[in-house]
Structure 1
């Protein structure tokens, strides 16, 4: 396939078309000031939850790639911690991520669990543990508490390499620089890309996907681009085939609380769901 045609396919990709905006019809509860404040707070809290989960993962990945949970001996980890602080991640969240890094250095085997919540939301929980019985017990306990259960949901996701990049402030997405970057990504085997759900006008972020086995070379090629585009993280990600939408706000909040409780389990590395919390 020619690069031009692949780049064209990006422009009409369903990932790109599915932006981080969601329109809901007005509710029957009225249009009072408190209702608007409540909705804004819920959206803000959801955005923070996505950010905290991503930064937790970036800290753990940086510790593994740099070979140490000591930021003085690991430049990648030091940079991840600096970034987390700059983006307002609470100190206790950062401390917990570091504790998981230290635990991961001692011992641990990787396990992946699948679950379904409210008959429509797929969940994948990645864990590292030195006691599988303890971990699966803790995961099941949380799922049961929230009326969810373990069942195969892997078919609801695609497993891709995912590289998160950010544009320097003032760099427009339609600029020649970004166009060249997209061409480079396509040449290196990119499958698709989309705007990150944590993206904002001040901090534009995009997710570029590639086959899992090509992640290392893909990340290296994008990292060497420079010119106002920075690679922030790289990981193997579970991307929903279709994000679950149309749930009642109460159900979305319950799923959010389930995810938070799963992330509180010491052995949890990452929780993936088919629910787009930015729709709240």
Structure 2
């Protein structure tokens, strides 16, 4: 998971910059809508919704926007008639890299057309459902910062039902678990006084494609950046590894 975690770190750093853009506000609001629709519209009893709200607040989204998004998800908001649905798209990027795209859209045809254009202009191909998803497993991930004692983290992780963990830098760890156990792991780590800064669902590749050619790397990252820039796209995951020096240059 090491290569994927390095890329995840770079994506988080990029997200800090992106948080200043309206797109991130839209993404976070849509995540709240879907979370409220998939469960009860009460964050106290809906972990997915509670997590989405925490991320929205951290990004500076006003409370009235958050409440409006919850109402839309619950079906109690009458301000517009748009209906969002969650769709997963799949394709291949330069070098045969497998790419998963999670989207929220009110128009499937528009989203598919935008994705197809992004792939074709950047050396990739939008594929059929199932063409690459078999190479990924969805996991729950807790991001833990300020880790002083790795042994205590291991003990707490095991108690919380974690499958594995990885130190991504000197004091930051990613702890992995089954999707259904994410809330329990998150709560256990917090009860053990660990600083959990994020709890999310993430697609983890079972195999990775090594990208060490600078032109291929440039095309791949341009494709990912283009996909992430589309209004309907919530998240992009790819199964590549890249030498750290090349990744730093590209980032």
Q: Match of 1:243? A: 208
Q: Verify: 1:221 aligned to 2:188, yes or no.
A: yes
Question: What is the CA–CA distance in structure 1 between the aligned matches of 2:138 and 2:50, rounded to whole Å?
Answer: 28
Question: What is the CA–CA distance in structure 2 between the aligned matches of 1:153 and 1:122, rounded to whole Å?
Answer: 6
CA root-mean-square deviation: 3.8
Q: Match of 2:14? A: 52
For 1:154-199, what per-residue CA distance to the aligned partner results, in whole angstroms no more than 9, with x for missing partners?
12222111111111xxx53xx3xx3222112112221112233xx4
Judge conservation of contact 2:122–2:219 (CA < 8 Å) in 1.
Answer: yes
Which residue, 100, 112, 121 being the options, matches 1:145? 121
Structure ranking higher on relative contact order (CA contacts 8 Å, 6+ apart): 1
Q: Which runs of structure 2 are paired with 1:4-15 in the superposition (5 Å)? A: 15=1
Distance verdict in 2 for CA 1:80–1:110, change over 3 Å: closer
Judge conservation of contact 1:108–1:128 (CA < 8 Å) in 2.
Answer: yes
Which residue, 181, 188, 201 being the options, matches 2:160? 188
Which residue, 219, 222, 226 being the options, matches 1:254? 219
Distance verdict in 2 for CA 1:269–1:192, change over 3 Å: same
For 1:32-75, what per-residue CA distance to the aligned partner results, in whole angstroms no more than 9, with x for missing partners?
xxxxxxxxxxx9xx96545234875995698466969xxxxx99
Q: Which runs of structure 2 are paired with 1:65-214 in the superposition (5 Å)? A: 80=55, 107-151=83-127, 152-167=131-146, 171-172=147-148, 175=149, 178-196=150-168, 199=169, 204-214=171-181
Question: What is the CA–CA distance in structure 1 between the aligned matches of 2:176 and 2:145, rounded to whole Å?
Answer: 15
Mark the runs of 5 or more structure 2 residues left unpaired by the alignment: 43-48, 74-81, 247-251
Mark the runs of 5 or more structure 1 residues left unpaired by the alignment: 1-14, 22-42, 69-73, 86-93
Larger Rg: 1
TM-score by length of 2: 0.68
Distance verdict in 2 for CA 1:206–1:147, change over 3 Å: same
TM-score by length of 1: 0.62
Q: Match of 1:9? A: none
